[in-house]
Amino acid sequence: MKKKKIKDEAIRYIKNAEEILSKSSIEDNRYIDVKYVKSSCGIAYLGVLKAIDEYLLKRGVTEKELPKKVEEYIKALKKYAGVHNGKLIKQFYDIYHELHIAGYYRGDLRSVGVVKSAINTAKDFIEKISEKVKKVDSGMEKNQGFPEPTYEVGGKREG
């Protein structure tokens, strides 16, 4: 797999999400058609998952071992991303709640600024994962075994 492919594939999801979002009319700085907002948020979230999956594959995780649930994604990020202060994991947690739960699942997002900000956060996350892939490719990144922060997911404490 080419180095750029991971970022390119994930960004393709983001661009598709933005294209779908552009189909919704805007009135008073709010999206009118929630169907387009929900679809857009769902696709953007899938782009983030795609970036994580590709990163995990680079780290040696097999296709069969890839996470299936958000809790598994958080555990995988804790294990393989090795972030000192948990910023990447916190950002993923925010993306999960904003794009997947509020935006896609519940359809609660309507404000143009909020939706665009959530999608930009997804882009930023993909960029960070892409940088981590470059470090894996260059042999610079190793699992550093930092303490795992605790997060609440689905009403349960994780960590």
Span 140-145, mean pLDDT? 52
CATH of residue 147's domain is 1.20.120.330
Distance (Å, rounded) from C-alpha 82 to C-alpha 141? 9
Task: Express each pLDDT in 104-125 by its tens digit.
Answer: 999 999 999 999 999 999 999 9
Q: What is the pTM of this model?
A: 0.82
Q: What percent of the chain is modeled with pLDDT above 70?
A: 81
The mean per-residue pLDDT over the stretch 38-57 comes to 96
Confidence of residue 148 (pLDDT cuts 50, 70, 90): very low
CA distances 20 to 16, 35, 41, 147, Å, are 6, 10, 10, 40
Residue 84: per-residue pLDDT:
54
Instruction: Tell me which residue range forms the domain holding 140.
Output: 3-158
Number of domains in the chain: 1
